[in-house]
Chain A
Amino acid sequence: MSVLQEISSDVRNMKQMENFVLFRRTNEIKEELRRGVRKSYREVIDVSWGDPHRAGVKPLSFVRQVLAACLYSELMDGDKLMVDVKQRAQRLLGTCAGGSVGSYCATAGIPQTLQSVSQYIMRRDGGVPCHPENIYISPGSQWALTNILKVLVNSEASPRTGVLIPVPCHSTTIISLTTLGAVAVPYYLREERGWALEMEELQRALDSAKGVCNPVALYMINPGNPAGYVQSRKSIQEVIRFAAEKKLFLLADEVFQDCVYGKESEFVSYKRALAEIGAPLSDSVELASFHTASKGLMGECGLRTGYVELVNLDPAVMKHINNLFSTNSCPILGQIALDVMVNPPQPGDPSYPLYLKETQHIRASLAQNVRRVEEVINSFPDFSCQPLEGGAFAFPRLFLPPKAIERAKEAGLQPDTFYCLRLLEEAGVLFSPGTEYGQKEGTYHIRFCIMTPSDTMEEILRRLSAFHEQFMKEFS
């Protein structure tokens, strides 16, 4: 009998990812294709993750050249690399112990990188002060979020700790909450109004927690994931005032801040909005905001590096946070990529022309993809997509016929998972089902990454359209 049988119940309760059945089938299909089994497609297009490189988007040359030079400094001999690449690599290596990316660094990160990040934040927020001591670099934004949640959530408390989360929400966050023994208190974004956050709904959610749990924090994603909204300044300030009044700790997941393309949209950070409200709120509302090198134009998901900025926290609490973060070490290469992200090539730099070309290309593809996705999806009567303003995903709604829902139930699957599985089988395209992220009861959605090369998106839309027509006809 296994010693490990009696494992921690919280771990057991970790939400079984819906995607599991899809991933397994994807691997099987890939294997079948490899073995030469005939299908109506030659390869599986996987856009279920927010992973542009997987989808075929090329990495930005400058950051890769700098990373390569930092790993193997002999590369800087001769003319293989541009002057500004070498200068950047040399400067960054100078900030590493022993001049090597293989050394350990201080708990919060390399001091110079923290300095760079804080200056970036100040520029972004129109001069609102930012102190490097409030920033912690982490192996991925989710890791930092989990750590902050660990501070807030007491798994042994009664009543249990609650955290307000949006519906729909990033699935990894939901899993982190469950693993930590917190209660997720959902507040529903209003799809028909472009996924707007309505204050009455926030209040309703908070009221629903009475007697169930003790809500201590409010988590918000802006720009959205999976839904592609960008929150307005007004909406952000409403949320801040609500959090202040109800004494909630604000968790602002802002990893897609560099991915805003809606014509009327502008990214305003929670921190900036808070500062603009002024005292006393600007000095008291507790806020943690998260960013990453994984999203945006750089898309370096595989490097796993992000950071959290903490605002208005009690110094005694910061001390404990410091202890918590010191139990793990920060990857150095990711910090190098982060430095490049916050300090990209500027006009006049030798690498600038190529950098401009590459980023313009990605932006143009993205704009094109957004236009085409909205066009194609909205052309179907039983498929609708809210305007895409930011982020890396489309999260259209499926109006599934009752027969399809029946069939899904018979197969023991959620209806949108069923749709995704059939889409995978028949069209070789992998999306993820809305069930994964939460949605209003009785509604169905699918999510897919739109940061792909334009021709890949065309192919996806072609296969999706053909499949969708067929599927809807079959179950009409």
Chain B
Amino acid sequence: MSSVQEVNPRVRGIRDPVNLQSLAAQISQQIAQGEQKAFTKVIDLSSCDPHRTGLPPISFVRQVLSLCCYPELLKEDSFPLDVKQKTQKLLEACNGGSIGSYSSSTVGLPPIQRSVAEFLTRRDGGINSNPEDIIFSSGSQKTLAMMIRLLSREDGQTETGVLAPLPCPHTLPMLLDEVGVKLVPYRLTEERGWAVDLEELHRALMTARRQCDPRAIYISNPGNPTGHVQDRETIEKMIHFAASERLVLLVEEVYQDSVFGQDKEFLSYKKVLFEMGVSYSETVEMVSFHSISTATMGECGLRGGYMELINLDPAVKKILFQYPSSASILPQLAIEIMVNPPAPGDASYEKYTQEILVRAQTLSQNAGRACKLLNALPGMSCQPAMGGVFLYPRLHLPAEIIEEAKMLRLSADVLYCRRLLEEEGICLGPGCENGHNDENFHIRLCVLAPPAVLEDVLTHLCSFHRRLLNGSD
């Protein structure tokens, strides 16, 4: 091979990541080597990584996983009874009683599939979920890539398209590049808290059809990074739209446990679908995604997720089941704990419930506090979040900054974030990663952190922002 020209064009087409994380790592390295800076460490709130910021994992989860790794510890008295019982149950589900074995099938451990199916049935008020429709993978992004790969035509004639919200999760554009499908954005309405606009959806689809073959629509609910939580009416409209335009619904619902807006509640797309009657519930094709990278669990580094297939053709399912990807065992066990937590009466119930509650309160309070502070800044406006873990404020930047960015051949939001990192040691995400690549500049901030850490970040951010605006006066 030896030259770039010979690299697969599909791989060459993966956009370069903005990669502030790399700069952040460099800066951390410089600090470790004794270089003097205005700050003592870098704080990264550009993605949802609660443990990184100092929020602890859920005790019950870690106790069980740890025992599953080294079952000799079952002999110890220091573990509560329910931890031991759960461990034993999970190990029985593993081949050879060890987390080191492969799953017997590519989709995952059957007992865990059953647990997830039972959870979904409970969650959706009795709507039946079939264990065989649950497929595990190393995180929801991976399962999403799997699905989209299935959709993409490779006859070299028309490019496949996927409708995706603008803004979308920052990991989505590169994922679609890698699979080789076109991202067709449908703009969410910022002024209405990032709500979906059906007319805009239609417009996007019309445009898409001129350029590619749109086959699916991607939805993030609660929204990443918008924090918007869709109401029943919206969900019904989306389903109706997808059904009439023959688009597969790809619904990312990883923040389903993080809804804090007044009078807001999480409604799963599946539940709404089934309540729309059989003409929809038996025909509309949908895949919903979840993972252990939630606000509560925050187990991003464990890499675990699943997807539920709804109304997919059995022939298609058969192919999915043969995909050579064996999901890792420990994350599957973590998923089982997530969907089957301690119940009232169990030894760990109180502590577990307390930890979950504290996490939820932290998130809600942080979101409120951050939004208030950011809105008080000149040149920044932020829609309040109703759920999820991010805030996504808009930057109203002075012309000088935008010019400077152009000269440096950077997007102004990237320049903003870079300078924020270099001057204050705070790493946030530029909105261009979320799809905003016109003059509509945004930044992305994960508010899931210990309150003191967030306060620190907000203080530095506000001071930087004011300085920047004043500097260009």
Residue numbers of A with Cβ under 8 A of B are 2-12, 14, 16-17, 20, 23, 27, 49, 51-56, 59, 61, 64-65, 67-69, 71-72, 75, 78, 80, 96-106, 111, 139-140, 142-143, 150-156, 172, 175-176, 179, 181, 216-217, 247, 249, 284, 286, 299-304, 313-314, 316-317, 319-321, 323-324, 326-334
Contacts and interface: CB of A to CB of B under 8 A. Distances in A.
Interface stretch (B144-152, B185-193, B410-418, B459-467): B144-152
Nearest to B245: A3
B262 interface: no
Contacts of A64: 69-70
A175 B325 CA distance: 11
Interface in B94-114: 94-96, 98-105
Contact of A104 (B47, B54, B104): B47
Contacts of A332: 301-302
B1 A249 contact: yes
12 contacts: A3-B285, A7-B151, A9-B153, A71-B69, A97-B51, A102-B298, A103-B301, A104-B49, A142-B324, A151-B1, A179-B324, A247-B2
B347 to A, nearest CB: 16
Contacts of B324: 142, 172, 175-176, 179
Given A59-B98, A101-B302, A320 B69 contact: no
B329 interface: yes
A1 to B, nearest CB: 9
Nearest to B103: A302
Contact of A9 (B154, B178, B248): B154
A102 B57 contact: yes
Contacts of B473: none
The 9 closest A-B pairs by CB, nearest first: A100-B51, A302-B329, A72-B66, A332-B301, A68-B70, A53-B98, A71-B66, A97-B52, A54-B96
A78 B76 CA distance: 12
B232 interface: no
B155 A9 contact: yes
A460 B16 CA distance: 53
Contacts, number: 259
A435 to B, nearest CB: 16
A154 B2 contact: no
B434 to A, nearest CB: 16
A49 B65 contact: no
Given A8-B153, A302-B329, A320-B7, A56 B96 contact: yes
A9 B326 CA distance: 22
A324 B11 contact: yes
B178 A327 contact: yes
Interface stretch (B233-241, B311-319, B338-346, B379-387): B311-319
A104 B301 contact: yes
B232 to A, nearest CB: 24
Nearest to A286: B1
A334 B328 CA distance: 10
Nearest to B146: A11
B273 interface: no
A328 B53 CA distance: 21
Given A7-B316, A151-B7, A317-B3, A16 B101 contact: no
B11 A72 contact: no
Given A75-B66, A100-B52, A106-B25, A181 B154 contact: yes
Nearest to A140: B326
B156 to A, nearest CB: 6
A216 B3 CA distance: 12
Interface of B: 1-4, 6-12, 14-17, 21-22, 25, 44, 47, 49-54, 57, 62-63, 65-67, 69-70, 72-73, 76, 78, 94-96, 98-105, 138-139, 141-142, 145, 149-156, 171, 174-175, 177-178, 215, 246-248, 285, 297-303, 312-313, 315-316, 319, 322-331
A139 B325 CA distance: 10
Contacts of A317: 1-4, 7
Contacts of B328: 139, 302-304, 331, 334
Nearest to A142: B324
Contacts of B139: 328-329
B302 A151 contact: no
A2 B2 contact: no
Contacts of A303: 99-100, 328-330
Contacts of B94: 302
Contacts of B323: 14
Given A4-B312, A324-B178, 11 more contacts: A3-B215, A65-B70, A68-B73, A98-B53, A100-B57, A102-B302, A179-B324, A302-B101, A323-B14, A329-B139, A331-B302
Contacts of A302: 94, 98-103, 328-330
A324 B14 contact: yes
B169 to A, nearest CB: 13
Contact of A102 (B104, B149, B152, B301): B301
Nearest to A101: B301
Contact of A3 (B51, B69, B100, B247): B247
Contacts of A10: 154
Given A303-B328, A303-B330, A8 B138 contact: no
Nearest to B58: A102
B21 A98 contact: no
Contacts of B15: 323
B98 A4 contact: no
B303 A150 contact: no
A55 B100 CA distance: 11
Contacts of B63: 72
A423 B11 CA distance: 45
A334 B312 CA distance: 33
A319 B150 CA distance: 27
Given A16-B322, A102-B51, A152-B8, A3 B302 contact: no
Contacts of A176: 324
